[in-house]
Amino acid sequence: MSRARITAVETHDIRFPTSLQLDGSDAMNPDPDYSAAYLVLRTDEPGGPSGHGFAFTIGRGNDVQTAAITALTPYLIGKPVDTDLGDLWRELVHDSQLRWLGPEKGVMHMAIGAVINAFWDLAAKRAGLPLWQLLARMSAEEIVHLVDFRYLTDALTPSEALTILRERTRGKPAREAEILATGYPAYTTSPGWLGYDDDKLRRLCKEAVQQGFRQIKLKVGADLDDDRRRLRIARETCGPDIRIAVDANQRWDVPIAIDWIRALAPYDPWWIEEPTSPDDILGHAAIARAIAPIKVATGEHVQNRIVFKQMLQAGSLDYLQLDAARVAGVNENIAILLLAAKFGVPVCPHAGGVGLCELVQHLSMFDYVAVSGSMDDRIIEYVDHLHEHFVNPVVVRDGRYQAPTAPGFSSEMRAESLAIHRMDSARTRA
């Protein structure tokens, strides 16, 4: 174990005024100001890197999220730079007093996720590898150690997880090479924000197809007539061969969801995303049964692996949309990838926001090399804003994420961006 230690935890309340352009506008979020509760792990390793992580929020409350990360500082100072991240996850998530604030959900769980992800950024930088490669090269036993199976064993045991991972050992180098050569498929949500007018929708649909995307996504759920018109425009513009997903952002109750989606069926939507509350496992299952063969996708607001477990058990979803910064970081997402592999459900991560594209590409690429071994029917969301604030922004070309090669988790923001968009600076500018 290294003698170098974590010496400081810096936190930053970072906000971007995205509501000015209605980027990110949907049926539940009319005017988000995309924000990050951001942290930096400083160490005393001579010439060594720092670790960067964040929770994504959409504005108000980012101060509370930042305070929750700050509250974890006493657990982190003095930890070795190569601390065991399976043990650290258990220490933070199962802290007997902190868990009362969830357990395993909401502000405190996202704070732990930000911290865990910062440690993974540090670990990958110290290993000189992008995170997806660091994870993909671990042994099955090392990966299983990272996962906490508490509350999962009725659906997935450690030995079943080992079996899944060992079955994927063969062909790993070839899949790693394939990722490096050709990347991973993406779809784009950029055309479909609810606040855009029809001309902008039409123009952005056309551009998306020209850029090589084979799937786009539209926000729906505020007004049925508008949704019909917008989906018709998108279908006419994209043609019959492009998959068009729609996303209701939790707008509906179960009976309304079923009626609304059936009304959109003539325009051949590929999946309906977040038709109702992310907490409604049984509701999603009822919707999925009622609207087949249209698919159900959900997950960006699913609080933890325990809810995903049940959604898989109940048949609540056809596509699992993990989020890199909602659950408790990389470790919990590995548990979720393993659960999805066990149930044979494709993982299509949620992205967008601030830096979520940067993070989830690593998880999907790791999934392909080491867990599911498949890209069939799998695709990562892509939204084309705010990447300029990252030191190693995603590269999407011809509708595919190109494999990141810089060491780390691609989570580090540029120092100028941090300085300009800190809450205090934002206030000064207002």
Considering only residues 13, 23, 45, 104, which one is a binding residue for a second copy as defined by CB under 8 A?
A: 104
Between 280 and 367, name the residue whose CB sits nearer to a second copy.
280
Considering only residues 73, 277, 374, 392, which one is a binding residue for a second copy as defined by CB under 8 A?
A: 277
Q: Does residue number 101 form part of the binding site for a second copy (CB under 8 A)?
A: yes
Q: Does residue number 289 form part of the binding site for a second copy (CB under 8 A)?
A: no
Q: Does residue number 279 form part of the binding site for a second copy (CB under 8 A)?
A: yes
Amino acid letter, residue 193: W
Q: Does residue number 17 form part of the binding site for a second copy (CB under 8 A)?
A: no
| Segment interacting with a second copy, rule: CB under 8 A, options 168-176, 275-283, 341-349, 403-411 | 275-283
As measured in angstroms, the least distance from the Cβ of 385 to a second copy is: 17
Q: Which residues are catalytic?
A: 219, 350
Report the residue count for the chain: 430
Buried b (16+ CB within 10 A) or exposed e, 254-279: beebbebbeebeebebbbbbbbbbbe
Considering only residues 10, 33, 207, 384, which one is a binding residue for a second copy as defined by CB under 8 A?
A: 33
Phi, psi of 399 (to 5 degrees): 75, 20
Nearest to 35, CA basis, from 51, 52, 12, 10: 12
β-strand 295-298 against 319-320: which pairing, if any?
parallel
| Integer Cα distance of 426 and 18 in angstroms | 13
Q: Does residue number 262 form part of the binding site for a second copy (CB under 8 A)?
A: no
Please list every residue from 328 through 387 that binds a second copy, using CB under 8 A. none
Considering only residues 6, 36, 41, 107, which one is a binding residue for a second copy as defined by CB under 8 A?
A: 107
Q: Does residue number 95 form part of the binding site for a second copy (CB under 8 A)?
A: yes
Q: Does residue number 430 form part of the binding site for a second copy (CB under 8 A)?
A: no
Between 150 and 206, name the residue whose CB sits nearer to a second copy.
150
Q: Does residue number 96 form part of the binding site for a second copy (CB under 8 A)?
A: yes
As measured in angstroms, the least distance from the Cβ of 304 to a second copy is: 7
As measured in angstroms, the least distance from the Cβ of 35 to a second copy is: 9
Q: Does residue number 320 form part of the binding site for a second copy (CB under 8 A)?
A: no
| Segment interacting with a second copy, rule: CB under 8 A, options 135-143, 144-152, 225-233, 340-348 | 144-152
Task: Name the burial class of residue 430, with classes exposed (0-12), middle (13-18) and buried (19+) by CB atoms within 10 angstroms of its CB.
Answer: exposed
Considering only residues 135, 220, 281, 375, which one is a binding residue for a second copy as defined by CB under 8 A?
A: 281
Q: Does residue number 110 form part of the binding site for a second copy (CB under 8 A)?
A: yes
Q: Which residues bind a second copy (CB under 8 A)?
A: 28-33, 57-61, 63-65, 67-68, 71, 95-110, 149-154, 250, 253-256, 276-283, 286, 301, 303-304, 306-307, 309-310, 313-314
